[in-house]
Structure 1
Amino acid sequence: IIGKEAGKPAYKLLGGQVHETLRSYTYLYPHTGSVHSEDARGQNVYNDPDMAAACALEYVEQGFNAVKLDPAGPYTAYDGHQPRLIDIDLSARMIKAIREAVGTRADILFGTHGQFTASGALRMARAIEPYDPLWFEEPVPPDMPEVMAQVARGTSIPIATGERLTTKFEFARVIENRAATILQPDLGRSGGILETKKIAAMAEAYHIQVAPHCYCGPIVGAANIQLAVTLPNFLILESLKQWDGFHATLLKKKIEWQDGNVIPSKEPGLGVELNEEVCEAHPYSGKDLHLQMMQTPLMP
């Protein structure tokens, strides 16, 4: 709001621009009606190594140099668990197939959404270490950074966490326990621009990098961009593909993306304008939550 009143992008009010462009990554997403969509056997980019590799290669050909997936089994409503051997095997085969497809052209980001115990996470880490992922995301539930620190000490893979943390106080516990070397605040949850600026400054003092997380859509994405532009310890930005498709129609002017990088907007405020007519024409009518948890986490 202040940026709009002053006629300046928010990053101008946060210390100025450090980065001209922002390296970005995308999840692997199935494409309806394409070779990446689910087949009759229920195979898709989330559980089939060949399909995942083909999808990753397609994103690399578009310009991305980092892709993310979380093939380690279904999410659970319960505490962290031990991964099944079939989940460890599938995860390793998925990462191996992607690495063989993209070579050194792209980093691989391995996510799990806090699914495992520390010992279970370390078993998984050993299986995927040979394929050199850029990070192992939320290997254990985020409520006990002391436990996450056990994982960080036991693997060569950088540990990333933060999408479910709120305010500098929770992030401070991660930093104090050396539980992660990459923080992933999501500005829709971490307290907004100013609070997350403090989180990033705290991280910088400990040589910890910041990779803003985004699961909410282009408004949080735009806020992430405004902050990331100012951060000396910025690593990479989560991008919802190229901010195209429906995410582009939600804005009067889409977030600019080129050759794997987001180009920060120089427009006032967050740099974007919400198309409220499109929003009103597409109210959410479903019942599912984001990352729906399951009462039966281990499925046949």
Structure 2
Amino acid sequence: MHMFGAGRFNRRSVLKSSLAALAAAALGRTAQPAEPALRNVNTASSPSALKITDMRYAVVVKPGPSPCVLIRVDTNQGVYGLGEVRDIAGPQYAMVLKSRIVGENPLNIDFLFQKIAQFGGNARQAGGVCAVEMALWDIAGKVYNIPVYQMLGGKWRDTIRIYADTTESREPREYGLRAKERKAMGLTWMKMDLGIEVLDGIAGTVMRPEGMSKWEMRDQPHPFTATEVTDKGIDRLCEYVAAVRDNIGYDMPLSMDHLGHIGVKSVIRLGKAYEKFNLEWMEDVVPWYYTDLLKEIREASPTPILTGEDIYQFSDFETLCREHAVDKIHPDLSTSGGILQTHRIGDMAFRYGLPMAMHFAGTPVACMANVHCAAATRNFLALENHSLDVPFWQDLVNGIDKPIVNKGFIKVPDTAGLGITLNDDEVKRHLKPGTGYFEPTPTWDEPQSWDDAIFS
């Protein structure tokens, strides 16, 4: 006989109650109300009658990467949800979805995600789908009066570790001092941007075809730029890493991003050169879709590699994990399908033995979506933050403990939904010039194409 909590599972009592229910039905009586599951739930509205009535947006500038588009999904019962389109993307990514969700019950989150998922894509093309998904979870939490993480299965942690970039400098010494300042803020995890741009003007450090511009290099995937780092260049780059390590020590993780569009062999050579600095990872060393090249680098480099911030499809993450092409994954929740799918991606990666860090750049709205997902995901490592130097960043929202980032951690809120409301006055102070604050959006009331017939 099994034990469940303080009571026993009694098959005899279950059989007895079942027979009683059948007898009541035979006599034409109803044994229990039709919705017993809601009897003890503190609902903020009537879930079965809830409908989406509108979606509007506001564009905020300078909260870090800019602009950032906030959306608000309204319902017929006064409950609304907040979401955010991924940084440096336009409102159209979200607003094209308005006609697809108005009239629907926002609590059918997975159904609505599948309905609008076709409008998402890699990188910022997924921003609208993910923003809507965030807002739906915010609504659901408010309706049932529970935090989002609880609806994902509960939390593994009460606080979320964050990591932050250290801005580049042409001088290694200055680079190291900037990292030291970050550590003094209480951070327990650091990331440095260090690419071949710092080698510009130093002869004999980078081999590339004469006349190739920076933009040509940015527009071509890494294997097609014919750009390699020389021994001299590697030695110079190591001076930067050494300066950072000298200032922050070896008692905290240090990650690296933005190596530059260099060849696979140069990445491997850098991975070997950086081994002595015990980097936590090198990020996005080649485009994520070159699975075999990533695997080649991972197997040859003693420095771990990581990717994922531009991946939308669950299946693409699973390919990387199944093939062990990376050491860690790095989804951006505003691209990787939103809260639920990112949580599922983490669970999948856990089964393959891979941890999950999370990429994030934006306002506290998307930040809180990440916080709830990270709290509920077992193999989570750390969450990125690009706004530590933005004085008004945390003032954009209310309802959460301040400072939001406290000595390198964010406390997981226990209030309903995402756990925040907008500070209307502060958001209005930072609107993109010429734009309004959640103004009506009739332009998007009707579908502008016939491409969702499968759900019509």
Percent identical across equivalent pairs?
Answer: 26
1:5 matched to 2:143: yes
- Larger RCO of the pair (alpha carbons < 8 Å, separation 6+): 1
Separation in structure 2 between the aligned mates of residue 284 and residue 47 of structure 1, nearest angstrom:
32
The answer as to whether partners of 2:164 and 2:191 remain within 8 angstroms in 1 is yes
**Residue from 169, 194, 202 that aligns with 1:71:** 194
Q: Where in structure 1 do 4 or more consecutive aligned residues deviate above 4 Å?
A: 241-244
- What letter matches 2:191 in structure 1? K
Q: TM-score, normalised by structure 2?
A: 0.56
Q: Point out where structure 1 has 5 or more consecutive residues left out of the alignment.
A: 30-44, 286-300
**Residue from 13, 17, 21 that aligns with 2:159:** 21
The answer as to whether partners of 1:229 and 1:264 remain within 8 angstroms in 2 is yes
1:172-205, Cα deviation, whole Å (9 max, x unpaired)? 1211221112111111111001111111111010
SS of residue matched to 2:196 = coil
Match of 2:353 in 1: 207
1:200-249, Cα deviation, whole Å (9 max, x unpaired)? 11101011101111023322211111011011111111123558623112
Higher strand share: 2
Separation in structure 2 between the aligned mates of residue 230 and residue 188 of structure 1, nearest angstrom:
17
How much has 1:167 moved relative to structure 2? 2.4
The aligned runs of 1:142-181 (5 Å cut-off) are: 142-181=288-327
- What letter matches 1:259 in structure 2? K
The structure with more radius of gyration: 2
RMSD: 2.2
Equivalent residues, number: 271
Separation in structure 2 between the aligned mates of residue 6 and residue 94 of structure 1, nearest angstrom:
51
Q: Point out where structure 2 has 5 or more consecutive residues left out of the alignment.
A: 1-138, 198-216, 434-456
**Residue from 424, 431, 439 that aligns with 1:283:** 431
- What letter matches 1:28 in structure 2? T
The aligned runs of 1:80-159 (5 Å cut-off) are: 80=222, 81=225, 82-85=227-230, 87-112=233-258, 115-159=261-305
Separation in structure 2 between the aligned mates of residue 248 and residue 11 of structure 1, nearest angstrom:
21
The answer as to whether partners of 1:243 and 1:257 remain within 8 angstroms in 2 is no
Separation in structure 2 between the aligned mates of residue 222 and residue 240 of structure 1, nearest angstrom:
14
The answer as to whether partners of 1:92 and 1:127 remain within 8 angstroms in 2 is yes
The answer as to whether partners of 2:272 and 2:303 remain within 8 angstroms in 1 is no
SS of residue matched to 1:12 = helix
Separation in structure 2 between the aligned mates of residue 270 and residue 88 of structure 1, nearest angstrom:
45
The answer as to whether partners of 1:218 and 1:247 remain within 8 angstroms in 2 is yes
Separation in structure 1 between the aligned mates of residue 363 and residue 412 of structure 2, nearest angstrom:
16
Higher helix share: 2
